[in-house]
Amino acid sequence: EPEVTQTPSHQVTQMGQEVILRCVPISNHLYFYWYRQILGQKVEFLVSFYNNEISEKSEIFDDQFSVERPDGSNFTLKIRSTKLEDSAMYFCASSDQTGGQETQYFGPGTRLLVL
């Protein structure tokens, strides 16, 4: 069964450094998403992406964050200058359609620790 994959599984970085989290969505999917989960808290929506554009973003997704689909398979989340509070599990998801009824398929997550 096709799966969303994410790399790395764990990343440790120093405050102020840039990090890039990578995701390979399911191959025929066109809609892509990033979520994060701070330890002990809820999974929170960050951004949705379609046709090389951001469809929607949350208030969390400020100017420090950016997303990109650099080629036909990868979908990346960049944090330009990491802060301690960016430490969280980051999940990528993809779906083959939009409109609300579709199922989003999630990757295993990248655990980011900012020191």
CB nearer to other proteins: pick between 33 and 79: 33
**45 lies in the binding site for other proteins (CB under 8 A):** yes
**One-letter identity of residue 42:** K
Q: How far is the CB of 36 from other proteins (least distance, A)?
A: 11
Which residue among 42, 52, 59, 85 contacts other proteins (CB under 8 A)? Answer: 42
**55 lies in the binding site for other proteins (CB under 8 A):** yes
**91 lies in the binding site for other proteins (CB under 8 A):** yes
CA atoms of 70 and 32, how far apart (whole Å): 13
